[in-house]
Structure 1
Amino acid sequence: MNLLLSGLDTVECAYYLRPAAATSLDFDALRVKRETRFQSKSRDPLVVELGGMAFELSRGGTRSGYPFMISNQQWVIQFGEFNDPNFFVTFRSVALWHRGAKALHDSFLAWAESLGYLPARPEGLSRCDFAFDFHLPLVDFNEDNFITLTEKDSQHRKNRKVQTFTFGRDEVVLRVYNKSDEVNEASGKFWLHEC
Protein backbone atom coordinates (compact mmCIF):
# COMPACT_ATOMS: atom_id res chain seq x y z
CA MET A 1 0.00 0.00 0.00
CA ASN A 2 1.26 3.47 -0.88
CA LEU A 3 -0.24 6.00 1.55
CA LEU A 4 -0.81 9.31 -0.23
CA LEU A 5 -2.48 11.43 2.43
CA SER A 6 -3.81 10.88 5.93
CA GLY A 7 -5.00 12.93 8.83
CA LEU A 8 -7.85 13.95 11.14
CA ASP A 9 -10.87 15.20 9.25
CA THR A 10 -13.40 15.71 12.04
CA VAL A 11 -12.91 16.12 15.76
CA GLU A 12 -15.77 16.78 18.18
CA CYS A 13 -15.01 17.56 21.78
CA ALA A 14 -17.05 18.39 24.89
CA TYR A 15 -15.54 21.05 27.14
CA TYR A 16 -16.47 21.48 30.78
CA LEU A 17 -15.60 25.09 31.52
CA ARG A 18 -16.41 27.25 34.52
CA PRO A 19 -16.74 31.01 34.49
CA ALA A 20 -14.06 32.88 36.40
CA ALA A 21 -15.08 35.81 38.63
CA ALA A 22 -15.94 37.93 35.61
CA THR A 23 -16.88 36.73 32.15
CA SER A 24 -17.43 38.77 29.02
CA LEU A 25 -19.85 36.24 27.52
CA ASP A 26 -23.25 37.94 27.79
CA PHE A 27 -25.95 35.35 27.09
CA ASP A 28 -28.78 37.89 27.34
CA ALA A 29 -27.14 40.20 24.79
CA LEU A 30 -26.71 37.26 22.39
CA ARG A 31 -30.39 36.36 22.78
CA VAL A 32 -31.41 39.95 22.02
CA LYS A 33 -29.16 40.14 18.94
CA ARG A 34 -30.48 36.85 17.64
CA GLU A 35 -34.14 37.80 18.25
CA THR A 36 -33.67 41.23 16.69
CA ARG A 37 -32.17 39.65 13.58
CA PHE A 38 -34.98 37.10 13.45
CA GLN A 39 -37.64 39.83 13.71
CA SER A 40 -35.96 41.80 10.90
CA LYS A 41 -36.48 38.79 8.59
CA SER A 42 -32.96 39.36 7.25
CA ARG A 43 -31.33 36.37 5.58
CA ASP A 44 -27.84 37.83 5.98
CA PRO A 45 -25.61 36.01 8.47
CA LEU A 46 -25.44 37.59 11.90
CA VAL A 47 -21.78 38.18 12.72
CA VAL A 48 -20.81 38.69 16.36
CA GLU A 49 -17.43 39.31 17.94
CA LEU A 50 -16.57 37.21 20.96
CA GLY A 51 -13.15 37.03 22.56
CA GLY A 52 -11.60 39.10 19.76
CA MET A 53 -12.84 36.73 17.03
CA ALA A 54 -15.66 37.04 14.52
CA PHE A 55 -18.32 34.32 14.45
CA GLU A 56 -21.53 33.71 12.61
CA LEU A 57 -24.35 33.32 15.15
CA SER A 58 -26.93 30.69 14.25
CA ARG A 59 -30.58 31.73 14.01
CA GLY A 60 -31.64 29.22 16.67
CA GLY A 61 -30.51 26.59 19.11
CA THR A 62 -29.23 23.14 18.24
CA ARG A 63 -30.93 19.76 18.07
CA SER A 64 -28.73 18.59 20.91
CA GLY A 65 -30.18 21.20 23.28
CA TYR A 66 -27.68 24.05 23.18
CA PRO A 67 -29.33 27.48 22.97
CA PHE A 68 -26.43 29.00 20.99
CA MET A 69 -24.28 27.97 18.08
CA ILE A 70 -21.50 30.08 16.58
CA SER A 71 -19.06 29.22 13.81
CA ASN A 72 -16.01 30.48 11.98
CA GLN A 73 -13.27 28.91 9.85
CA GLN A 74 -11.84 27.02 12.86
CA TRP A 75 -14.79 25.77 14.90
CA VAL A 76 -18.49 25.23 15.25
CA ILE A 77 -19.20 25.94 18.92
CA GLN A 78 -22.44 24.97 20.64
CA PHE A 79 -22.84 26.41 24.11
CA GLY A 80 -25.22 27.37 26.89
CA GLU A 81 -25.21 28.68 30.42
CA PHE A 82 -26.87 25.63 31.91
CA ASN A 83 -25.68 22.84 29.61
CA ASP A 84 -23.33 20.15 30.88
CA PRO A 85 -20.91 20.14 29.16
CA ASN A 86 -21.39 23.83 28.54
CA PHE A 87 -19.31 23.95 25.32
CA PHE A 88 -19.38 21.38 22.54
CA VAL A 89 -16.89 22.05 19.75
CA THR A 90 -16.51 20.63 16.26
CA PHE A 91 -13.09 21.38 14.81
CA ARG A 92 -13.53 22.25 11.14
CA SER A 93 -11.88 20.01 8.60
CA VAL A 94 -9.95 22.74 6.79
CA ALA A 95 -8.52 23.99 10.10
CA LEU A 96 -7.56 20.48 11.20
CA TRP A 97 -5.63 19.84 7.98
CA HIS A 98 -3.86 23.20 8.02
CA ARG A 99 -3.28 23.77 11.75
CA GLY A 100 -3.68 20.40 13.50
CA ALA A 101 -5.87 19.22 16.36
CA LYS A 102 -3.48 20.22 19.17
CA ALA A 103 -3.17 23.79 17.89
CA LEU A 104 -6.96 24.11 17.51
CA HIS A 105 -7.55 22.68 20.99
CA ASP A 106 -5.03 25.09 22.53
CA SER A 107 -6.48 27.97 20.53
CA PHE A 108 -10.01 27.15 21.70
CA LEU A 109 -8.94 27.06 25.35
CA ALA A 110 -7.12 30.40 24.94
CA TRP A 111 -10.23 31.88 23.32
CA ALA A 112 -12.44 30.57 26.15
CA GLU A 113 -10.02 31.98 28.72
CA SER A 114 -10.21 35.39 27.00
CA LEU A 115 -13.96 35.27 27.72
CA GLY A 116 -13.32 34.36 31.36
CA TYR A 117 -13.78 30.57 31.20
CA LEU A 118 -11.39 28.00 32.61
CA PRO A 119 -11.42 24.19 32.46
CA ALA A 120 -13.42 22.68 35.31
CA ARG A 121 -12.50 19.11 34.37
CA PRO A 122 -10.87 17.37 31.41
CA GLU A 123 -12.58 17.62 28.06
CA GLY A 124 -14.20 14.58 26.48
CA LEU A 125 -13.55 13.50 22.92
CA SER A 126 -16.75 12.28 21.29
CA ARG A 127 -15.89 11.94 17.61
CA CYS A 128 -12.69 11.54 15.68
CA ASP A 129 -12.66 10.86 11.93
CA PHE A 130 -9.35 9.73 10.48
CA ALA A 131 -9.24 10.15 6.71
CA PHE A 132 -6.82 8.44 4.40
CA ASP A 133 -6.06 8.30 0.74
CA PHE A 134 -4.06 5.44 -0.59
CA HIS A 135 -3.08 3.71 -3.76
CA LEU A 136 -3.85 0.03 -3.46
CA PRO A 137 -5.08 -2.10 -6.36
CA LEU A 138 -7.27 -4.08 -3.97
CA VAL A 139 -8.23 -3.33 -0.36
CA ASP A 140 -6.60 -6.24 1.42
CA PHE A 141 -7.65 -5.40 4.98
CA ASN A 142 -10.90 -5.34 6.93
CA GLU A 143 -12.23 -4.29 10.33
CA ASP A 144 -10.45 -7.24 11.99
CA ASN A 145 -7.10 -5.66 11.10
CA PHE A 146 -7.80 -2.72 13.45
CA ILE A 147 -6.98 -2.99 17.16
CA THR A 148 -9.80 -1.47 19.20
CA LEU A 149 -11.73 -1.93 22.44
CA THR A 150 -15.07 -1.02 20.85
CA GLU A 151 -17.80 -3.63 20.78
CA LYS A 152 -19.49 -2.38 17.59
CA ASP A 153 -18.06 -1.93 14.14
CA SER A 154 -19.43 -1.65 10.64
CA GLN A 155 -18.33 -1.03 7.10
CA HIS A 156 -19.92 0.89 4.26
CA ARG A 157 -19.46 -0.15 0.67
CA LYS A 158 -20.15 1.30 -2.74
CA ASN A 159 -20.22 -0.89 -5.82
CA ARG A 160 -19.14 -3.76 -3.56
CA LYS A 161 -15.94 -1.94 -2.55
CA VAL A 162 -15.34 -0.96 1.07
CA GLN A 163 -15.09 2.81 1.56
CA THR A 164 -15.57 3.30 5.32
CA PHE A 165 -14.83 1.41 8.53
CA THR A 166 -16.71 2.65 11.62
CA PHE A 167 -15.80 1.65 15.17
CA GLY A 168 -17.92 2.41 18.24
CA ARG A 169 -21.33 3.98 18.64
CA ASP A 170 -23.01 6.89 20.38
CA GLU A 171 -20.40 8.41 22.70
CA VAL A 172 -17.12 7.62 20.94
CA VAL A 173 -16.89 6.86 17.23
CA LEU A 174 -13.89 6.39 14.95
CA ARG A 175 -14.38 6.39 11.19
CA VAL A 176 -11.64 5.41 8.78
CA TYR A 177 -12.52 6.12 5.18
CA ASN A 178 -11.20 6.85 1.72
CA LYS A 179 -11.07 10.63 1.63
CA SER A 180 -10.77 10.97 -2.16
CA ASP A 181 -14.06 9.14 -2.62
CA GLU A 182 -15.74 11.26 0.05
CA VAL A 183 -14.49 14.53 -1.48
CA ASN A 184 -15.67 13.59 -4.95
CA GLU A 185 -19.05 12.21 -3.85
CA ALA A 186 -20.16 14.44 -0.99
CA SER A 187 -18.07 17.07 0.75
CA GLY A 188 -16.53 19.02 -2.11
CA LYS A 189 -13.39 19.64 -0.01
CA PHE A 190 -11.27 19.99 -3.12
CA TRP A 191 -8.80 22.17 -1.19
CA LEU A 192 -7.47 18.86 0.20
CA HIS A 193 -5.77 18.23 -3.12
CA GLU A 194 -3.37 21.06 -2.21
CA CYS A 195 -2.28 19.34 1.03
Structure 2
Amino acid sequence: MALQPLPILPIEVLRQAALSRLRAGVAAANAPDADPSALKTLYIPRHRFEKLGPERAPLLHVVAKTDGGEGLSHELPLVASVGTLHINILLASGRAGAVDLDVKAAQLTQAVCLLLLEDQTFLEQFAYVEALRVSMEDGIARGDGGEFDVVLVQIELVMAEGQTQFEPRLPPNDFAQVDMTTDIGPVVGSDPPQDHTVRLRFEPEE
Protein backbone atom coordinates (compact mmCIF):
# COMPACT_ATOMS: atom_id res chain seq x y z
CA MET A 1 0.00 0.00 0.00
CA ALA A 2 1.44 3.38 -1.04
CA LEU A 3 2.15 5.92 1.66
CA GLN A 4 -0.04 9.00 1.59
CA PRO A 5 1.96 12.20 0.91
CA LEU A 6 2.03 14.85 3.60
CA PRO A 7 -0.07 17.96 2.83
CA ILE A 8 2.92 20.22 3.49
CA LEU A 9 4.99 18.40 0.84
CA PRO A 10 3.26 18.97 -2.52
CA ILE A 11 6.53 18.11 -4.29
CA GLU A 12 6.12 14.48 -3.20
CA VAL A 13 2.73 14.41 -4.90
CA LEU A 14 4.36 15.75 -8.07
CA ARG A 15 7.18 13.19 -7.83
CA GLN A 16 4.69 10.35 -7.71
CA ALA A 17 2.72 11.91 -10.58
CA ALA A 18 5.87 12.19 -12.71
CA LEU A 19 6.87 8.60 -12.00
CA SER A 20 3.44 7.20 -12.86
CA ARG A 21 3.45 9.01 -16.21
CA LEU A 22 7.00 7.94 -17.02
CA ARG A 23 6.15 4.31 -16.25
CA ALA A 24 3.09 4.56 -18.48
CA GLY A 25 5.23 6.08 -21.24
CA VAL A 26 7.73 3.22 -21.07
CA ALA A 27 4.90 0.68 -21.17
CA ALA A 28 3.39 2.41 -24.23
CA ALA A 29 6.79 2.44 -25.98
CA ASN A 30 7.03 -1.33 -25.50
CA ALA A 31 3.53 -2.09 -26.73
CA PRO A 32 3.18 -4.18 -29.91
CA ASP A 33 3.38 -2.08 -33.09
CA ALA A 34 4.46 1.01 -31.09
CA ASP A 35 6.47 3.65 -32.93
CA PRO A 36 10.24 3.72 -32.28
CA SER A 37 10.96 5.59 -29.05
CA ALA A 38 13.99 6.38 -26.91
CA LEU A 39 11.88 5.24 -23.93
CA LYS A 40 11.69 1.64 -25.18
CA THR A 41 14.75 0.28 -23.30
CA LEU A 42 14.42 2.56 -20.28
CA TYR A 43 14.17 0.85 -16.88
CA ILE A 44 12.58 2.62 -13.91
CA PRO A 45 13.44 0.91 -10.59
CA ARG A 46 10.82 0.38 -7.90
CA HIS A 47 12.75 2.89 -5.75
CA ARG A 48 15.98 4.80 -6.12
CA PHE A 49 17.90 2.53 -3.72
CA GLU A 50 17.37 -0.61 -5.78
CA LYS A 51 20.76 -2.25 -6.42
CA LEU A 52 21.50 -2.17 -10.15
CA GLY A 53 24.63 -2.29 -12.27
CA PRO A 54 25.48 -0.26 -15.38
CA GLU A 55 24.67 -3.26 -17.57
CA ARG A 56 20.96 -2.63 -16.76
CA ALA A 57 21.10 0.92 -18.18
CA PRO A 58 19.44 3.08 -19.30
CA LEU A 59 18.02 3.73 -15.83
CA LEU A 60 15.88 6.55 -14.48
CA HIS A 61 14.76 7.67 -11.05
CA VAL A 62 13.02 10.79 -9.78
CA VAL A 63 14.02 12.59 -6.58
CA ALA A 64 12.03 15.26 -4.73
CA LYS A 65 14.88 17.67 -4.11
CA THR A 66 13.41 20.86 -2.62
CA ASP A 67 10.05 22.18 -1.47
CA GLY A 68 8.74 25.35 0.17
CA GLY A 69 9.22 29.04 -0.46
CA GLU A 70 9.04 32.57 0.81
CA GLY A 71 6.53 33.79 3.37
CA LEU A 72 4.12 36.37 2.01
CA SER A 73 2.44 37.51 5.23
CA HIS A 74 3.40 38.61 8.72
CA GLU A 75 0.02 37.52 10.07
CA LEU A 76 -1.34 34.19 8.84
CA PRO A 77 1.38 31.92 7.44
CA LEU A 78 1.20 32.27 3.65
CA VAL A 79 3.89 30.49 1.64
CA ALA A 80 4.68 30.87 -2.06
CA SER A 81 5.68 27.26 -2.54
CA VAL A 82 8.21 26.19 -5.19
CA GLY A 83 9.32 22.58 -5.60
CA THR A 84 12.19 20.95 -7.49
CA LEU A 85 12.35 17.49 -9.01
CA HIS A 86 15.61 15.88 -10.10
CA ILE A 87 15.10 13.31 -12.85
CA ASN A 88 18.35 11.33 -13.03
CA ILE A 89 19.14 9.13 -16.04
CA LEU A 90 22.09 6.76 -16.38
CA LEU A 91 23.19 5.51 -19.80
CA ALA A 92 26.02 3.01 -20.25
CA SER A 93 27.85 1.13 -22.97
CA GLY A 94 30.47 -1.59 -22.80
CA ARG A 95 33.93 -0.80 -24.10
CA ALA A 96 33.40 -3.15 -27.05
CA GLY A 97 30.26 -1.31 -28.13
CA ALA A 98 30.12 1.50 -30.64
CA VAL A 99 27.19 3.38 -29.11
CA ASP A 100 27.20 7.17 -29.21
CA LEU A 101 26.08 7.76 -25.64
CA ASP A 102 25.83 11.52 -26.12
CA VAL A 103 23.26 11.14 -28.89
CA LYS A 104 21.30 8.50 -26.93
CA ALA A 105 21.37 10.74 -23.84
CA ALA A 106 20.00 13.69 -25.81
CA GLN A 107 17.24 11.60 -27.38
CA LEU A 108 16.19 10.08 -24.07
CA THR A 109 16.30 13.44 -22.28
CA GLN A 110 14.06 15.00 -24.92
CA ALA A 111 11.61 12.09 -24.74
CA VAL A 112 11.34 12.36 -20.93
CA CYS A 113 10.87 16.15 -20.97
CA LEU A 114 8.22 16.03 -23.69
CA LEU A 115 6.35 13.21 -21.96
CA LEU A 116 5.91 15.32 -18.82
CA LEU A 117 5.67 18.84 -20.21
CA GLU A 118 3.12 17.94 -22.91
CA ASP A 119 0.90 16.06 -20.45
CA GLN A 120 -1.98 18.37 -19.57
CA THR A 121 -3.01 16.28 -16.56
CA PHE A 122 0.49 16.66 -15.11
CA LEU A 123 0.70 20.40 -15.80
CA GLU A 124 -2.64 20.97 -14.05
CA GLN A 125 -1.13 19.90 -10.72
CA PHE A 126 1.00 23.04 -10.30
CA ALA A 127 0.91 26.70 -11.30
CA TYR A 128 3.73 26.93 -13.87
CA VAL A 129 7.26 25.76 -14.69
CA GLU A 130 9.75 28.16 -13.15
CA ALA A 131 12.89 26.55 -14.62
CA LEU A 132 14.07 23.56 -16.65
CA ARG A 133 17.77 22.72 -16.57
CA VAL A 134 19.66 19.77 -18.03
CA SER A 135 23.21 18.82 -17.04
CA MET A 136 25.34 15.90 -18.27
CA GLU A 137 28.41 14.20 -16.87
CA ASP A 138 30.43 11.31 -18.26
CA GLY A 139 32.60 8.74 -16.57
CA ILE A 140 33.47 5.08 -16.14
CA ALA A 141 31.67 2.42 -14.06
CA ARG A 142 32.44 -1.20 -13.32
CA GLY A 143 29.82 -3.90 -13.78
CA ASP A 144 29.51 -7.62 -14.26
CA GLY A 145 30.72 -7.29 -17.85
CA GLY A 146 33.79 -5.22 -17.02
CA GLU A 147 34.13 -1.48 -17.51
CA PHE A 148 31.37 0.67 -18.98
CA ASP A 149 31.42 4.16 -20.35
CA VAL A 150 28.55 6.04 -18.73
CA VAL A 151 26.71 9.31 -19.14
CA LEU A 152 24.66 10.69 -16.26
CA VAL A 153 21.91 13.14 -17.15
CA GLN A 154 20.13 15.26 -14.56
CA ILE A 155 16.93 17.04 -15.52
CA GLU A 156 16.08 19.72 -12.96
CA LEU A 157 12.42 20.67 -13.10
CA VAL A 158 11.45 23.62 -10.89
CA MET A 159 7.72 24.13 -10.46
CA ALA A 160 5.79 26.94 -8.82
CA GLU A 161 3.16 25.10 -6.80
CA GLY A 162 1.05 28.12 -5.91
CA GLN A 163 0.40 29.66 -2.51
CA THR A 164 -0.31 27.68 0.63
CA GLN A 165 -2.02 29.27 3.62
CA PHE A 166 -2.02 27.69 7.06
CA GLU A 167 -4.95 28.45 9.37
CA PRO A 168 -4.00 28.77 13.06
CA ARG A 169 -5.63 26.40 15.49
CA LEU A 170 -7.24 28.10 18.50
CA PRO A 171 -6.37 26.79 21.95
CA PRO A 172 -8.99 24.81 23.87
CA ASN A 173 -11.85 27.03 25.03
CA ASP A 174 -11.72 26.67 28.82
CA PHE A 175 -12.81 30.16 29.91
CA ALA A 176 -16.20 31.77 30.33
CA GLN A 177 -15.39 35.32 29.31
CA VAL A 178 -12.58 37.78 28.65
CA ASP A 179 -12.49 41.41 29.81
CA MET A 180 -10.35 43.81 27.76
CA THR A 181 -9.67 47.36 28.94
CA THR A 182 -8.25 50.10 26.68
CA ASP A 183 -7.30 53.57 27.93
CA ILE A 184 -7.92 56.19 25.26
CA GLY A 185 -7.17 59.36 27.24
CA PRO A 186 -8.91 62.15 29.20
CA VAL A 187 -12.43 63.16 28.27
CA VAL A 188 -12.36 66.63 26.75
CA GLY A 189 -14.22 69.20 28.85
CA SER A 190 -14.75 66.96 31.87
CA ASP A 191 -14.49 68.60 35.30
CA PRO A 192 -12.61 67.24 37.10
CA PRO A 193 -10.53 65.58 34.32
CA GLN A 194 -11.44 61.95 33.82
CA ASP A 195 -10.06 59.13 31.76
CA HIS A 196 -12.28 57.67 29.10
CA THR A 197 -12.11 53.88 29.37
CA VAL A 198 -13.54 51.47 26.82
CA ARG A 199 -14.39 47.97 28.05
CA LEU A 200 -14.87 45.08 25.64
CA ARG A 201 -16.24 41.70 26.64
CA PHE A 202 -15.85 38.54 24.57
CA GLU A 203 -18.02 35.57 25.33
CA PRO A 204 -17.04 32.40 23.44
CA GLU A 205 -19.70 30.41 21.67
CA GLU A 206 -20.75 27.18 23.26
Which of structures 1 and 2 has the bigger CA Rg? Answer: 2
> Higher relative contact order by CA 8 Å / sep ≥ 6: 1 or 2?
1
Bigger share in helix: 1
**TM-score, normalised via structure 2 length:** 0.30
**TM-score, normalised via structure 1 length:** 0.32
